[in-house]
Structure 1
Amino acid sequence: MKKFILSFAVLISGVCMFASCNLISSAGFNSKGLPTPDVRTADASVNIESTVKLDHSLWDELLQKHVKSNGLVDYKGFKKDRAKLDRYLEMLSSQKPTDQWSSSELLAYYINLYNAYTVDLILKNYPLKSIKDINGPWTKEFVKVGNKKLSLGAIENSILRKMNEPRIHFAINCASISCPKLMNEAFTADKIEQQLEKATREFVNSDKNDISVTSAKLSSIFDWYKGDFTENGMTLINYVNQYAKTKINKGAEISYKNYDWNLNEVK
């Protein structure tokens, strides 16, 4: 019995360690049947012939107005434009993604869905110091898609990550200082490749990482999702070096920075 209790305690401890990284529960692992095509094998011709071409211009307008170039967000300004944000959320929620959507259309949709509903969550609980002050921000199923409800954790872990595009980690924003910045433009299917590349390159070379030739202190994102960046024999150093202005030597010491969960708000 003691052995069982000890084993159970170790299991719970491991789960809690993982949850402390990304605050994920079982709610974060349910895609509700939404499509998650592997972007690595998607046929380019399919992307051109997508049955749906969504208009994200309203979100683009809001982002340009209320998000600074450094990624800090004017939540007070967003509150004043609540009606416009609600219209955009209603448009997103009215959609029913299918396998007939291109992978590019789906990626743009899911990223914007995550980011817009994260802003919505902050506004519903504003003012606050951190998204972690909210009970279950990544596990509550409050994001509507058609007749389904998902959690933010589900969108990230059971949908976007299943599409095998690790750059999504630099496109979605968790409303915190250490997160990749919220871009001040909407993601769109026709620009998704350039936007993901830009977001990744900017994040790698930002102050969220301290990179030198002989060592690197990286964002905890690279620790939490290491498996996403190191598939098919790719090392973490190899992955970062694709984007870093300063190239890290093979075998260099890698450590990780503490994560700042304070709200990414314009002061």
Structure 2
Amino acid sequence: MIFLVKGSYSINHSSFSKVLAKYVTVNGDVNYKALSSNRSDLDNYLKFLQANPPKESWAKNEKMAYWINAYNAFTIDLILQHYPLKSIMEINNGKPWDLNFITIGNVKYSLNHIEHEILRKDFNDPRIHFAVNCASVSCPKLLNVAYEATTLSIQLDASAKNFINNEQKNRLTPGAIDISKIFDWFADDFRTYGGVIPFINKFASVKVSPDAKVKYKEYNWNLNE
């Protein structure tokens, strides 16, 4: 749904929230089997995104929320196109993110383009890494509600905090940490917070020493269902 507010368009993602609330648990597990049999609401949301690409007049948070939701919704769509499967890595010879299967406006996109050329490049906010979901066990959980411009910063903080303090994703002690490969793959992105450990300490319940020993967990690409 779109509303005209003070001369600019404002997107409401409540239709995606409806899908997420019905098919995603509070822990981020997705009922792909049930969704594959009843995907009309998801398809309608995808068509809505495709027909309403972001405009220059939109506020930053509106654009960011749009692209985060687009990434997550089209990732679900990609899984459903190939379901049943055990891992997203079974798609396109292990390169599912390179597929140009997304059309928004008149432009073709891949998931990689949305993540790296739009979300990371245009917004420079490492909290994005805990909002986009790659349909895998080791990923930050898929929220069962859509991201909205009006609550975006609160939602991004909550997603980062939830992921960092999840002992299945990261194990933190003051002197040593065993953390997600996300912090290794995208280490440069956390420089805006002073680096990986300062970023972790912003959200962690256990504060980590700047000199802590760092290990990275093996990534589990099994499907998040």
Provide TM-score, normalisation by structure 1: 0.79
2:216 is equivalent to residue 259 of structure 1:
no
1:77 equivalent to 2:38? Answer no
Alignment of 1:137-216 (within 5 A): 137-162=96-121, 163-206=123-166, 207-216=168-177
Q: Which residue identity lines up with residue 20 of structure 2 in the other structure? A: L
Aligned residues: 217
Q: Is 2:198 the counterpart of 1:238? A: yes
- How far apart in 2 are the matches of 1:217 and 1:51? 45
How many Å separate the matches in 1 of 2:184 and 2:6?
A: 37
- Structure 1 or 2, whichever has the larger Rg, is 1
Asked if the contact 2:23–2:30 (Cα under 8 Å) also holds between the matched residues in 1, the reply is: yes
CA distances 1:110-163 after superposition (whole Å, capped 9, x unpaired): 000000000000000000010000003101111111000100000000000011
**Structure 2 residue identity aligned to 1:179:** C
Give the unaligned 5+ runs of structure 2: none
Deviations 1:205-246 (A, max 9, x none): 0120010111001100000000001237x1321111000000
- Contact 2:23/2:32 (CA < 8 Å) preserved in 1? yes
Q: Which residue identity does 2:55 align to in structure 1?
A: T
Q: What is the identity, as a one-letter code, of the residue corresponding to 1:167?
A: R
Partner Cα separation in structure 1 for residue 65 and residue 7 of structure 2 = 13
Please state if 1:92 is matched with 2:49.
yes
Code of the aligned partner of 1:230: R
* Contact 1:129-1:263 within 8 A present in 2 as well: yes
Between structures 1 and 2, the one with greater strand share = 2
TM-score scaled by length of structure 2: 0.94
SS at 2:214 equivalent: strand
Once residues 113 and 179 of structure 1 are traced to their aligned partners in structure 2, the CA distance between those partners, rounded to angstroms, is: 17
- Give the drift of 1:49: 5.4
Deviation at 1:53, TM superposition (A): 1.1
Task: Structure 1: give runs of 5+ residues left out of the alignment.
Answer: 1-47
Report the identity percentage.
45
Moved over 2 A (4+): none
